[in-house]
Amino acid sequence: MSSQDPAPISPPIALITGGAGDLAQAIRAELEAQGWQVHAPSRAQMDVTDKAQVQAVMGSLPRLDLLIHNAGFLRDASLLKMTERDFHEVLQVHLKGAFLTAQAALKIMVKQRQGHIVTIGSFSALSAPAGQANYAAAKAGLIALTQSLAAEYGPRNIRANCVLPGFLETKMSQPLLEKQRPQIEAAHALGRLNTPQEAARYIAFLHTMENVSGQVFQLDSRVRRWV
């Protein structure tokens, strides 16, 4: 390489939590197709509720341009049948996990003076169904956490947005779809569900919108009243 040759441009780096999930894998494929270097650790590789594990994984990265907090699971039950453990563990993964991963990411992004944190929310946060008190509460808290991050770190050129990908056909949703597919589809104005690939394409596009932060994006056709 001569002294006049431009320095090679390293690819942007993304980290997706809950990397073994169907949506995480779709996002990974979309970003890698666009030239990103993507890390998508599974729970076994990085438990988002364990601060030491989160810091170890984040600390091994040379930089971080995009964090996607996707880790999550369901433990649905009526409130009288929901155990304290059911409630606690769902909030731990969805909400505490977002706090720990965002905190670790911010240590990198503040030094870079740029970065983007995307949290994966849920329509349940906006219109909570029966039997999901833990999940709906966690996802509602996630929206507030995301908007607080956007307000606090916008002056450092760090963005934060929450994406509600819709009712996707994934391993996590399959048991419910097997029981209630007609009712679930009927709740959508278009009568069909979103796909992990479409949600991934939107998230990749959202990252390119450099002036958007603190927003909540719903990606399906369920219509709700705004109050």
Q: Which residues of 100-118 are buried (b: 16+ CB within 10 A; e: fewer)?
A: bbbebbbebbeeeeebbbb
Task: Write down the catalytic residue from 99, 123, 135, 153.
Answer: 135
Radius of gyration of the chain (CA): 18
Exposure class string for 157-196: b at 16+ Cβ within 10 A, else e: ebbbbbbbbbbbebeeeeeeeeeeeeeeeebbeeeebbbb
Structure tokens at 105: 């990411």
Q: What's the length of the chain? A: 227
Segments of the chain assigned E as strands: 13-16, 37-39, 66-69, 115-120, 158-164, 216-218
CB-neighbour burial class of residue 26 (10 A; exposed 0-12, middle 13-18, buried 19+): buried
Angstrom distance (rounded) from CA 171 to CA 20:
11
Chain centroid to Cα 150, Å, comes to 15
Q: At 224, phi and psi to the nearest 5?
A: -130, 160
Residue type for 96, please?
K
Residue 135 is a catalytic residue: yes
State the Cα angle at 103 between 100 and 107, rounded to 5°.
140
Which amino acids are annotated catalytic?
135
